[in-house]
Amino acid sequence: MRLSVLDQTPIADGTTAAAALANSVDLARAAERFGYHRYWVAEHHASPALAGAAPEVLLAAIGAATRSIRLGSGGIMLPHYSPFKVAETFSMLAGLYPGRADLGVGRAPGSDQRTAIALQRDRRTQSPNDFPNQLAELLAYLEDDLPPGHAFAELAKTLPGRPETPDVWLLGSSPDSAGWAAETGLPYCFADFINSDGAAIAAHYRRNFQPGVRAAKPYTMAALWTVCAETDAEAERLALSSRMMLAHLVTGVLIPVPTPEKAAAWLAANPHASAQASGRRGRRMIAGSPATVRAGIEAAVAEYGADEAMLVNIVHDHAARVRSYELVAEVFADVAIAA
C-alpha cells in the first residue's frame, strides 16, 4: 500500500509563518527518507494558522530539497485562477522535476469570502461558478487538444515544461467532485479529514469512471487525519492542538496552532464548544500508537477501497510531527509504502 503526505504548513503559536515554510521543506526531506510516495501541499489564504498561500512556490523549494518523492498540490483552488496560468505554472514544475509533478485541483475557496474576492482581478462581481468548464480548459492545455479553430489552441504548445506534464488529480469531499473525476478519467483524492462519510462517494467514482488518455482505470486516494506517537495517550495529547483549532474554526475564528497544554486548558474550560466541534467535525481522527494507527489506516483504506492513503495532521511541535510520520512509516515497514 502506498502512503503519502498532505502538508497544510501549520503555523505554531509563538513562531512565524516563515518558520512554518521552513518546517514544510524539512518535513518533505524527512518524508522522502521515510519512504513516502508523494508530498502534497495545501492552499489556504489570509490565515494565521496555515502558511501555504502559494503551493506552486513551496513545491519548487521542496523539489530543490528532495530527489525522488513526487511533488503536488493538495490542491490548487482553480476558481481563483486562469486555467492557462495554472497550466503554465505546473508545466514549469514538471519541466524542473521530470516525472515528479502532481497537479491536484479543487473548487473550494481555501479562504473566507472577503479573501476570495481580494484574490479576484475583477472585483465588481463574484467569479462565475463554472468549475467543470475551467477543469476542461486546464486539461485541454496540458494535453494540447483544444479544437484547431479555438482562439487559444496554439497556447498549449508554448507550455514551458514540455514535453513533461504533471499528473492531474481531482480533489473533493462531495458527490460532485466524484462525478467530475469519473467523467474526466482522473485519479481522485477524497478528503476524509473533511467528510468521513465518503465511502459511497468513492464507490460512485469507481463505478462511473470513464477510461481515457489520462488513466485506464480509476485510482482512489483517501486523505486521513493521522497523529501517531509512542503511546495512545501521547498521540491524544498531541491531537489536542488541532481539536482546539477546530472548535474555533467552526465559529469562523482562525488561530495559530496552540500548544497541547494551552489546548487542554481551553478545551476543559469550554466543554460546550469542544463537544460542538466534535459533533460537526465530519472526519475521523486516527490518533494513537503505531499499532493503533496502522489498524485505523488499514480500516479506512478498506472502507474506501483506496489504492493509497494520504496522511495529514496538525501538531504544535515540529519534531513531534516529523516523528509521527516516521512512526507510521516504521509500522508499515513490512509493506512497500512507496511501491
Q: What are the pLDDT digits (tens) for 166-214?
A: 999 999 999 999 999 999 999 999 999 999 999 999 999 999 999 988 8
- For the cut 60, the answer to whether the pLDDT of residue 339 exceeds it is no
Write out the three cell numbers for 281.
467535525
Residue 326 has pLDDT above 90, yes or no: yes
pLDDT band at 7, cuts 50/70/90? Answer: very high
- Eight-state DSSP code of residue 169: E
For residue 83, whether the previous peptide bond is cis, meaning omega lies within 30 degrees of 0, is no
Mean pLDDT of 28-50: 97
| Residue 268, pLDDT above cutoff 90 | yes
Task: Give me the residues paired with residue 38 across strands.
Answer: 70
pLDDT at 64 over 90: yes
Q: Any idea what DSSP says for residue 334?
A: T
Residue 226 phi/psi, 5° resolution?
Answer: -140, 120
- Please, are residues 229 and 323 in contact by the beta-carbon 8 Å criterion? yes
Q: What average pLDDT score do residues 104-131 get?
A: 82
What is the dotted CATH code of the domain comprising 2-331?
Answer: 3.20.20.30
Decide if pLDDT at 120 tops 90. Answer: no
Residue 278 pLDDT grade (very low, low, confident, very high; cuts 50, 70, 90): low
Mean pLDDT of all residues in 148-165? 95
Identify the DSSP state of 111.
Answer: S
Cα–Cα distances in angstroms (integers) from residue 48 to residues 212, 252, 308, in the given order: 42, 13, 31
**Phi and psi of 216, rounded to 5°?**
-85, -20
Beta bridge partners of 50: 10
CB atoms within 10 A of CB 205: 29
Helices (H), the chain: 17-34, 55-65, 83-96, 113-119, 131-143, 175-184, 199-208, 232-249, 260-269, 271-280, 290-304, 318-331
pTM for the whole structure: 0.94
Residue identified by cell 526531506 is: 29
DSSP assignment of 23-78: HHHHHHHHHHHHT-SEEEE----S-SSB--S-HHHHHHHHHHH-SSSEEEEEEEEG
- Tell whether the model's pLDDT for residue 274 goes beyond 90: no
pLDDT in tens, 211-225: 988 899 999 999 999
| Backbone dihedral angles phi then psi of residue 72, each to the nearest 5 degrees | -155, 170
Which long-range contacts (C-beta less than 8 Å, at least 24 apart) are formed by 233-241?
Answer: 235/287, 235/288, 235/289, 235/292, 235/293, 235/324, 236/287, 236/288, 237/264, 238/287, 238/315, 238/316, 238/317, 238/320, 238/324, 239/285, 239/287, 239/313, 239/315, 240/264, 240/267, 241/314, 241/315, 241/316
On the question of pLDDT at 282 being above 60, the answer is no
- Residue with the bigger pLDDT between 124 and 131: it is 131
pLDDT, residue 127, reads 77
Q: Give pLDDT, residue 110.
A: 65
Cis amide bond preceding 296, omega within 30: no
CA dihedral of 30, 32, 36, 40, whole degrees rounded to 10:
90
Confidence band for 276, pLDDT divided at 50, 70 and 90: low
pLDDT band at 115 (very low <50, low <70, confident <90, very high): confident
Q: How far is it, in rounded angstroms, from Cα 131 to Cα 179?
A: 13
Decide: helix, strand or coil at residue 260. Answer: helix
Q: Is the pLDDT of residue 126 over 80?
A: no
Nine-digit cell at 124?
Answer: 465588481
Length of the chain: 339
Q: Which residue has the higher pLDDT, 149 or 311?
A: 311
Which sequence spans correspond to the domains of the chain?
2-331
How many angstroms from the chain centroid is the CA of residue 220? 14
